[in-house]
Structure 1
Amino acid sequence: MATNALVLKAVLFDRDGTLVVDVPYNGDPQRVEPYPGARSVLDRLRSRGLATGVLSNQSGIARGLLTAEEVDSVNARVEDLLGPFDVWEVCPHAAGEGCLCRKPAPGMIHSACRRLGIDPSEAAFIGDIGSDVEAAAAAGARGVLVPTPQTRTEEVEAAAEVAADLEQAVALLLQAPLLRGPA
């Protein structure tokens, strides 16, 4: 192994539009619908000893459109369907609040990595919009964009790495320069 190669220790995911179908301001666990193949991708990562996590902007809390408890119940349903995650991070703030956690700020990635005991350079973040890969870059993590029909063309063009789906995104991550981990 090259001494300057980084070892991938965690793969973090955006929730809505990446792991599950995006239902705007969803507070109903029964409306959670995983993307095809999401469970098998996560199981593959877990079987390799990689940590997994979910990082999600939930401005509906600040806007009064849903409660933190509703978000928690939706997140619990995501875990029921996709298996356990090592870390969850939720930003409850609205876009204009200037918090340090709301993507594209790196706060949730930094927090998740601290909680996992790793450096952000040992993590990757997979999401469906530009702010996801921007947050990864700002944190010093590797970012992979998995576009949906809602992803803007300029976001796809600006992303350093783009994958057709979750399976392809994880295949990219499990190749050099980040080597299969943990260390």
Structure 2
Amino acid sequence: MRLLIMGPQGVGKGTQAKLLSEHYNIPTISTGDIFRANIKNQTELGKKVLEYTSKGFLVPDELTNEIVKDRLAQDDVKNGWILDGYPRNAAQVTALDEICAEMNTPLDAVVALTAPTNVLLERMAKRAKEEGRADDTPEAIKNRLNTYEKETAPVLDIYGERGKLVSVDGVGDIDEISKQIISSLDAKLA
């Protein structure tokens, strides 16, 4: 199974991706985790990424597309994957379409998690405090939420038109949300 998990910052994509990964026994590929690991290890990529993320800007498409393509070519994703944080705009949808076509691995479904903005802001403020993430400043958070609404939310329309979209409310008990996602996916892909 090849899935995308999408939604605004703080909606619980990472948490739900981990649970789906365990349920379907496929790896989660988080562009954010890849970026943060490179920043932590002070790699050249990490330095480039930090120039953008520290200001609340997104990493350029070319760099992100290259990282995703490389990751989807690795052995552990032969039986499927969950992409978290990608694609985030229409150009990246096109790039992912090309990657999937080239690898003969079509996308099965897109999970869209939703939540009100006040819940998202509260969750990210808590996460910033608990995890000490430098990219979760109030200014950066607001910038990313605005960018999501402008650039990424329209991607959901593309996948909706293709019949790939499963929308689930991201507010509530984590396990209940996970059960809702799994039952929706199983029904869609049956």
* TM-score of the aligned structures, taking structure 2 as reference length: 0.40
Does 1 or 2 have the higher relative contact order (CA < 8 Å, sep 6+)? 2
* TM-score of the aligned structures, taking structure 1 as reference length: 0.41
More helix by share: 2
